[in-house]
Amino acid sequence: MKNLFLSALAIATIAFTSCDSDDQATIVQTNTTTDDSNVVVTGEIAGKVTWSADKIYQLRRRVVVVDGGELTIEAGTIIKAEKGTGSLASTLIVARGGKIFANGTKDAPIIMTTVEDNIEIGQVAGTNLDENDRGFWGGLLILGKAPCSFKQNVTELQIEGIPVSDTNGLYGGNIADDNSGVIKYVSIRHGGAEIGEGNEINGLTLGGVGSGTVINHVEVVGNVDDGVEFFGGTVNASNLIVWGQGDDALDIDQAYSGTIKNAVVVLGAASDHALEIDGPEGNATGSFTIDGATLYGNTETEKGEIADYRSDATGLTKNIRVLDFKDNSDVELDNNGVAQNFIDKKLSFENWNVANTVFVEKVKKDENDVAVESTIITPDFTEQAKDWTNDTATGADTSVFGWSLTGINNNALLAK
């Protein structure tokens, strides 16, 4: 078992050994604070620990709030993660039964970033990195005991991004109102370290997180993989903003059954979809709601689509505003199952404001999951959809994002 060291001494050096099966070696690490303002942390948080705004906390490899542990992060605290890939990637994980209380404010948000970032105590942004700087560290993972829909109908699974040897990476269960704590006014920047070829960590990963957890005013900037990904669970989240992610901005999987309310996506040059929505993987079902989102695309890059609905997804997407995408950017119904859900009104769309051409592809696939036929459905979604409008009031309330790095750097865009 790894240990956690927090020190406020001017100079403290503690050596310890740790061996993971992933590492294939015994690691001797030195935990040193060079002054009162910098604290290196690694290993497990098993009791109650508070991180304060007068220090910068430096993550070294995986830091895990284990079952029964509680981590409180004061408003205005800066957390910087060391570089690393694979099993050496620095991440902050809240395991099942652990809790995090990250109570930032709009005037003093909590910043999670990389040691490469020159941001200092009391600041909300550094000067040397932007949304195109990605992959310096892992990300924030919250794992809970709420229901998910897994293949073979298992009740728990190892979250992507964490080696299977670390059982703190398990998520899922049967407690719908499970409580993992509070995440408010938190900005997660420059993450998505690769743990294997084509396998990166999301900015904020929510695995089986229950409705007792509070998540609002969260930002992800410059992540290699997805911005925020919901793996099952029932948690509700509001006022989310994602800028310049490498894959999808908001991603739903494994029958997520909560509500995402008031979200903004600003695609960058490397971004793929603004929304990627998957359904159940097992017999358990669930229905999501996305209510109020503004999606900003770009017209310069080959990538960058509006949304992709896949894998028997069921739910409601409403009050959506789409801006600045290419004329051929689309909303896809990506297999026969999800297209049938659309026809059966199990997957529905209400009150979309689309500033440029949009169409939906109903894609027929063969036994190898290869697309063999596409049918364009007109923008009014025939009789299955409601109220496609030109009402500019549709979408997110962007005024609540002035605290974020995205809001600071894209004020004119969000004011459209």
Residue where the block lists tokens 């009402």: 391
* Residue 9 within any structural domain of the chain: no
**Which domain, by its residues, includes 244?**
37-414
| E strands in 254-346 | 259-266, 273-277, 288-296, 305-309, 315-323, 331-333
CB 18 within 8 A of CB 4: no
Closest by CA to 238, choosing from 312, 291, 159, 176, is 291
Asked whether residue 270 is domain-assigned, the answer is yes
Domain membership of residue 177 (yes or no) is: yes
Report yes or no on 18 lying in a domain: no
Count of domains in the chain? 1
Q: What is the pLDDT along the chain (416 residues), one digit of tens a residue?
A: 333 333 333 323 323 333 343 332 222 233 334 467 899 999 999 999 999 999 999 999 999 999 999 999 999 999 999 998 777 889 999 999 999 999 999 999 999 999 999 999 999 999 999 999 999 999 999 999 999 999 999 999 999 878 888 899 999 999 999 999 999 999 999 999 977 555 689 999 999 999 999 999 999 999 999 999 999 999 999 999 999 999 999 999 999 999 999 999 999 999 999 999 999 999 999 999 999 999 999 887 778 889 999 989 999 999 999 989 887 788 888 766 787 888 788 998 888 887 555 556 555 666 676 666 655 554 444 444 444 555 666 899 999 999 999 999 999 999 98
Q: Tell me whether residue 288 is in a domain.
A: yes
Burial of 344 (0-12, 13-18, 19+ CB in 10 A): exposed
Q: Is the CB of residue 295 less than 8 Å from the CB of residue 273?
A: no
**Largest distance between two CA atoms of the chain:** 69
Is 16 domain-assigned? no
> In 10 A of CB 22, how many CB atoms?
14
Q: Does residue 53 form part of some domain?
A: yes
CA distances in angstroms from 224 to 23, 82, 188, 268, 271, listed in the order given:
24, 16, 12, 11, 9
52 vs 251: CA distance, rounded Å: 32
Residue 2 falls within a domain, yes or no? no
Cα(301)–Cα(269) distance, integer angstroms: 6
Query: Taking the CA atoms of the chain, what radius of gyration do you get in angstroms?
Result: 21
User: The tokens of 403 are what?
Assistant: 């605290």
